[in-house]
Amino acid sequence: MKSLILICLLSFVLLNCASYTQETAKIRSLFLNKNFSEALSELEQSSLKQDSKSRLLYLLEKAMIYDRLGEKEKFRRTLLDADKVVDRLFTTSVINTVSTLIINESSSDYRGENYEQVALHVLLALSFLEEDQLNEARISAKKINERLYAITQDLGDRNNSYREDAFARYLAGIIYELNGEYDDAIIDYKKALKIYEASSYKRFYQPGVLPQVAEALYRLAKLRNRQSILSQLEKNYPKLTKPALSETDKDAQIIVFHEIGHTSVKKTREFLINVGKQIVRFSFPFVSKSKAFQYGPTGLSLDGGKFLQANNTVDMNSLAHYSLEERRLRLVAKGIGRILLKSQLTRKVHDEFGPLAGILANVAVAATETADTRGWTLLPESFWCTRVRVKSGRHKITIKTNGLVNEIIDVNIPPNGYLVYRVWSS
């Protein structure tokens, strides 16, 4: 009876609370309209800051606002704090598991979707790269690989198409290459290319990135005399490999990472099921997989020459959609089990304490059976990469993202040097 009273009390609280998606709507609107200071103020005044169960989300959302404000140190520090929360929650506690069986999924600590846990380190690595902090970026690259390994081990034999992250592997390869660790770079480039080529992964990106990764791998394999890799690439990408090495005077490179928009939010879908003499509501989250509307080209032009189109390395909306869909059966099975348990409690209360108590119990069931719509809503919806080999020396670069000119910069790249730039567009 005490447990039932607790559920009833909780239900009345939940009845007066918005879902995570609704509660953070104003923050997203301010963020999308580039009112970043106001978005930060709204976040600090929201209940999210005080909700210990959503500590990870508070840090992730806050980090993205810091980033757009240009507060790079605060951005990285906040992401590192978020990573500590992920580490702490990676092994689900018994208390969290019990609460999701009795109340709902959002009653437990939010530990982050797998792709969010990886994206955290991707953004850290990109931030270090843009400020030419290669040692720190290298640490992030190692953390990417460690996190992906942990996720793979955690999934076991479960059928998940997101067991690996091609963009994260590709980025790790870039970091190792820029740091002169060519053998490690070859390992990650090979992994990235293999993941991109897998049929189950094709829905997470646009195929134009494949030649870009293959060329990077081919150049290093040639440098390290890896004949087996060279033979395989020449077979699979005959139009790419040999011409890529013919321009021997191009001893430097420019790499621009473009971040567009923010991911689709989790919404609620509901259906009714018949349990005994009761019709009860079951609610579950879903994410739209629709790709973002492109307002214009993304890429760069070099020294007034032709425009070089960026390649889409990952579509986060698609990742979010399929990651959730592949958990759908497990979520539904768990939810139905929870509803059956609540239904038994409701009937017992009705039989032992009368109709009024039964009504209160029904209210508790309806109020607590809500979908968990929590998620990293300010995470970019897609990452693009423009990568080009150039002669060392002075260059004028015009960078566009989603049709908007981000930067026009004059640079002087030293022999065998590089320029890494990171830009974004709402």
- pLDDT tens per residue across span 285-302: 888 876 655 668 999 999
Question: 273 versus 383: which is more confidently predicted?
Answer: 383
What percentage of the chain reaches a pLDDT higher than 70?
74
Cα R_g (the chain), whole angstroms: 25
pLDDT score, position 264: 87
Single out the residue of 312, 306, 315, 303 nearest to residue 379, CA to CA.
315
Host domain of residue 170: 2-425
Length of the chain as a residue count:
426
Single out the residue of 132, 421, 120, 125 nearest to residue 298, CA to CA.
421
Average pLDDT for residues 215-224, to the nearest whole number?
A: 93
Q: Which two tokens stand for residue 117?
A: 């846990």
Q: Looking at 48-52, 228-232, 296-300, 414-418, which range is the least confident one? A: 48-52
pLDDT score, position 355: 67
Over 80: is that where the pLDDT of 118 sits? yes
Reported confidence tier of residue 226, pLDDT bands at 50, 70, 90: very high
pLDDT score, position 98: 43
- Mean pLDDT score across all residues of the chain: 83
> Which of 72-86, 290-304, 325-339 has the highest average model confidence (pLDDT)?
72-86
Q: Looking at 116-130, 133-147, 246-260, which range is the least confident one? A: 246-260
CA atoms within 13 A on the CB side of 338: 28
- Contacts (Cβ under 8 Å, ≥6 apart) of 366: 11, 280, 281
Distance (Å, whole) CA 165 – CA 376: 17
Q: Looking at 93-107, 159-173, 374-388, which range is the least confident one? A: 93-107
Distance (Å, whole) CA 202 – CA 208: 11
Over 60: is that where the pLDDT of 94 sits? no
Work out how many domains the chain is built from and give that number: 1
Distance (Å, whole) CA 113 – CA 320: 8
Reported confidence tier of residue 307, pLDDT bands at 50, 70, 90: very high
Average pLDDT for residues 140-149, to the nearest whole number?
A: 88
- Contacts (Cβ under 8 Å, ≥6 apart) of 379: 60, 64, 116, 119, 262, 263, 316
Reported confidence tier of residue 367, pLDDT bands at 50, 70, 90: low
Domain at 294, CATH number: 1.25.40.10
pLDDT score, position 271: 66
pLDDT in tens, 162-205: 778 999 999 999 999 999 999 999 999 999 999 999 988 998 99
pLDDT score, position 192: 96
